[in-house]
Structure 1
Amino acid sequence: MSLTEAPKRSPERDAFYTKLNDKNFSALWTVLNNLITPTPKSACQPHRWEFAPARELLMEAGNLITAKEAERRVLILENPGMRGQSRITTSLYAGLQLVLPGEVAPAHRHSQSALRFVMEGSGACTAVDGERTYMEVGDFVITPPNAWHDHGNESNAPMIWMDGLDIPMLSFFDASFAEGLGADTQALTKPNGDSQARYGANLLPVDFERTGLSSPLFNYPYTRTREALEAMRRHDEWDPCHGLKMRYINPLDGGSAMPTISPFVQLLPKGFKTTSYRSTDATVFTVVEGSGTTTIGDTTYHWKPKDIVVIPSWCPVVHQAHEDAVLFSFSDRVTQQKLGIWREQRSAD
């Protein structure tokens, strides 16, 4: 007996297993090697989605169904190893959402945490719990669990962003709740920029009391992010596995900006090639700027702006930038760290 092989079968054993099955039992020793594996074993597969053909499909969808009728006009990024499950990794969902000029995606709320990463367009807005923010390419926007939210496009061009949610995670716990507001938009009770003023300047209101686990900031503008990356590159301190990689934080405690999803941004300078790295958090990344390649195991993917790539758990990955590149990514790392199960391995380990 070992952790990699099941015991041999025999007629007597098979007859016993049939008895067990009839009484809703099963024998652990027949499945132990698949339940507790020496290394992560997943149906999740590496894959790349090119943005250009995805955009064509989104625009076709825009001619077929309205944002209001669809509730959310989204093309799900389905991992090829888990088709039909609405998953990009084992624990996370991702999709591309389109809101056309003049449209509104109606107000609703749900127990799932959600992020938006803006891919195309300028000037569309999202409202979260009474505050509206306008979105630009590269902005990272949070919808906390159970927060009312709606989206609108007051510009004259399509708005496209990537959604990332913990839908599979909440489904595993049977903890999904959702409801509509019954109106296209929610009442705005705070001025634009209120959350940035209250929480985005290393200040807190004197009588502030924490009410949730998500960051009280819900828009992290790309202009600020890019300025920070550019300032830090002057120190020329490049991590061999990541280049310059930063995590978006909750200003209240320095932890992850979201309770179940870890968002990151990284800069790879032209010609930089990372050393091999792997970790247990399957990761979704999208290209904000630049071009390059990512090698996952034995497969190499070429990428350019707005392409999306998924890296499964514990797969060795190497990035190489053909020009200065900025990558946004997200994973379930914060959840794994809270559970004490997250693990990484650098090439030198």
Structure 2
Amino acid sequence: MNAPQTAVHEREQLYRDMDPHNLKPLWEVLHALVPPQPASPCVPALWTYERVRPFLKRAGEVISAEEAVRRVLILENPGLRGQSAITQSLYAGLQLILPGEVAPSHRHTQGALRFVVEGQGAYTAVNGERTTMHPGDFIITPSWTFHDHGNPSDQPMVWLDGLDIPILRFFDAGFAENGSARSQQVTQAEGSSFARFGHNMAPVRPVAPFGKTSPIFSYPYDRSREALDRLERDAPIDEWDGVKLRYTNPLTGGWPMPTIAAFMQKLPAGFRGKGWRQTDGAIYSVVEGRAAVHIESPAGGSTRYEVTPRDHFVIPSWHAARLESEAGCVLFSFSDRPVQDALGILKEERLP
């Protein structure tokens, strides 16, 4: 056996001998652990509402909201099948609640957002306050707060759930508890949190009721849409984003949730956006209008989606993307940007 073959044999024997001791050679995996650029297993994906809604309807026929606890169809990334995740850090699903149903009260350490997709008149209750849900509303369920949902209206309600389940799973920090009652007792008038914190004012001696999460738990769409329309008329249009705003915590000016950022943007009619890429993969819900989404993978390969209202899509980390819209479009999106920002690892590029 010559010298190179001997070295290879000795190296392989070393690996076999140390494996029972739970030891692995870094040099065999270093390039995968510390890659030259993000190499996400996530892939771009689109869930058209036209295809998803029939399955939601069937789910409503075979299981009640109370039986299911939450009747939700998970939007599972094709690159992460079996992991109940849309990106490596975030979960997304579409929840259905039918007329007369109640999704029972519980709480969990995972933070959640609700973005209303279809219907109006149902409610979500958080910490003793209810809010009536309307399409385009952004609603927060803070970590470890009791919450339940009910639908006294005569039409089905569907909303997008976004949670930080994979983040808490990574930290082994997930806890949950069922409420003692089917619906929690209402102790505050509807709109109380918005009255205290939603008008560029705050109580003289404010106490953050939900820790680092916004004290406002319902952000009405009509207010968001008004701001976008005004900026579209009176301010310069960003060449990458159109008109894009982020939701904020009024007590801090920071993110509305410690783990999840949320955004609303409007693409004016005739918009031809420039490309960008960022390390926070983002989940989008189409609110109004139509758009074309162009996505390019770091490894090569491109994807183009034509999206319409109530469609959902994901742009994974470090995938170059750009948006176009002939007639105009409004998009809601969320990502794990607060976590990356806090850790100092967020990276983004605006492409020429």
Per the normalisation by structure 2, the TM-score is 0.95
Match of 1:40 in 2: 38
- 1:290, 1:322 within 8 Å by CA — same for their partners in 2? no
Q: Does 1:281 find its partner at 2:285? A: no
Match of 2:327 in 1: 323
Q: What's the Cα RMSD here?
A: 0.9
Q: Does 1:344 find its partner at 2:343? A: no
Match of 1:335 in 2: 339
- State the AA in 1 paired with 2:285: T
What SS class does the counterpart of residue 53 from structure 2 fall into? helix
Aligned residue among 307, 311, 316 for 2:311: 307
- 1:198, 1:204 within 8 Å by CA — same for their partners in 2? yes
> Gaps spanning 5+ residues in structure 1: where?
1-8
Identity %: 53
Match of 2:170 in 1: 172
- 2:292, 2:304 within 8 Å by CA — same for their partners in 1? yes
Match of 1:4 in 2: none
Number of residue pairs matched by the alignment: 340
| Structure-to-structure mapping, 1:154-193, within 5 angstroms | 154-193=152-191
- 1:245, 1:266 within 8 Å by CA — same for their partners in 2? yes
- 2:214, 2:249 within 8 Å by CA — same for their partners in 1? yes
> Gaps spanning 5+ residues in structure 2: where?
1-6, 297-301
What SS class does the counterpart of residue 123 from structure 1 fall into? coil
Aligned residue among 4, 13, 23 for 2:11: 13
- State the AA in 2 paired with 1:102: G
Aligned residue among 111, 114, 117 for 1:113: 111
Q: Distance in 1 between matches of 2:278 and 2:228?
A: 23
| Structure-to-structure mapping, 1:126-275, within 5 angstroms | 126-211=124-209, 212-275=211-274
Q: C-alpha offsets along residues 217-274 of structure 1, whole Å, 9 cap, x if unaligned?
A: 0110001110111111112411111111100000001101111000001010111011
Match of 1:24 in 2: 22
Deviation (angstroms), 1:23: 1.0
- 2:208, 2:215 within 8 Å by CA — same for their partners in 1? no
Per the normalisation by structure 1, the TM-score is 0.96
- State the AA in 2 paired with 1:330: F
Q: C-alpha offsets along residues 31-67 of structure 1, whole Å, 9 cap, x if unaligned?
A: 1111011100111010100011211100100000000
Deviation (angstroms), 1:323: 1.1
Deviation (angstroms), 1:208: 1.8
- State the AA in 2 paired with 1:238: I
